Amino acid sequence: MAAPSAAETGGKQIGSDDYALSRVPRDKRLGFWTMLLQWLAQSGSISQFTLGATIGVGMTFGDAFLAFTLGAVVLEVVIFAIGLAGMREGLATPLLTRWVGFGRNGSALVSFVIAVSLVGWFGVQNSIFGNSVSALVGGASWLWCVVAGVAITALVIFGFKYMAIFAKIVTPLFFAMVAWSVTDALMDHSVADLVSAPPPGETIPLAVAATAIAGGFMTGAIVAPEMTRYNKKGSHVFLQSASSMILSEYIVGMTGVLLGHMVKSSEVSHIVLSTSGAFGVLVVLMSTAKINDWNLYGSSLGVVNFFQVVFGKRLHRGVVTIMLGLAGTLLSAVGIMTHFTEFLSVLGVAIPPIGGIIVAEYWVVRRMCKPLDDTRAAQTLPTTSPTWVPMSLVIWALAFCVGKFYDGGIPALNSLATAFILYSVLGLLGWIRTYGTTTLDDEATPAPADRTPDTVGAA
């Protein structure tokens, strides 16, 4: 049963539902260059330069290159394995997990964790945004938090199409401005000397550096299907995500290493901001907003799936975006969100095992995927889903404990690898079993908003 349309309810919904509870149809997928700019937009952040400089202060250029290589390879493997599943099925991570590892009720828990984590980071990033603008141009930080939060919320309400348009504008401007600023800063220094220079600060172990690189974007890797469900081909997923990794880690990150060697500090953001003028500051702030819009977007998809499973209510994604955006904006404006960073970091360890289970089930075990295979050509959802997969929840908890309490290696990678290995072994032994079957009585047919996501006011 499809959700009622605006005409049927006598009202108008705000924004786009963006296939929150259905597959993205093949004819609604986007082209290579549009999707590439979305991926590259995730690399366009001053924080990545700062990360590179932080690593450069404690490592030689060669060791930093190795650390970024390890981080990039880990992230790319995870992104491609999960993102390709999202592209093939046209499903976002919360909905995908109903048939891939967790079952209907388990997917509600997955959705809750993802939604809380992403909207929390939306608020934290919004706080940083507001404080940064206040320091640069004056004015109360809470006011800038409100301005930024409302602007991002307004963008995300109208969905993926408008986020893609924003990426087309911001991404080229950001990298052109940064290239000019960095080139200007490095002209008075010998790049060869900076490359061969010893680390100016306390030495950072390779494992610690790789942890910062891979762990910092691991949550984004797990929710890659939110983006890749709009891809047309698996080769596009690989080329676009790999391009983003190359730009983010090797070009932006390693440039940050050079800047860290040059100023002998991780405080390098002023190099870009001081040489680019007011326009450059605006571009940097817009690029930060472009990254933060994905936090709000992913959170909205998680909440829609959570409410459908737990309460049997099909909420419109645009309306959910408004509620989440206002909540995150308000909490960031009053300064509460910065007190939750430790809690959000804990959730960050809880999310990678979800990816490990998805990859293991979809590409190795395949005990639950047949209904997706049977309905993929028709671009509909299966009429039923498993209700519970208890062993997946046990594996999730065990993998979380490994990531949280084991001191060696990369915590995010430890928890992901543990979940993947346990699920694969137990699944191949036949120990992963589903319990109960739930009939999908209102997801099988896409709602009118899903058929016309670019129409403002569609239900």
For the chain, domains (ranges, CATH) are 10-451 (1.10.4160.10)
What does each C-alpha distance from 253 to 29, 53, 280 come to in angstroms?
31, 8, 19
Single out the residue of 173, 209, 270, 223 nearest to residue 62, CA to CA.
209
Rounded Cα–Cα distance for residues 250 and 254 (Å): 5
H/E stretch holding 384 reads: strand 384-388
pTM for the whole thing?
0.87
- Pick out the chain residues at pLDDT < 70: 1-13, 269-270, 272-281, 337-338, 441-459
With a CB cutoff of 8 Å and minimum separation 6, the contacts of 428 are: 364, 365
Single out the residue of 19, 458, 421, 51 nearest to residue 253, CA to CA.
51
Rounded Cα–Cα distance for residues 80 and 221 (Å): 9
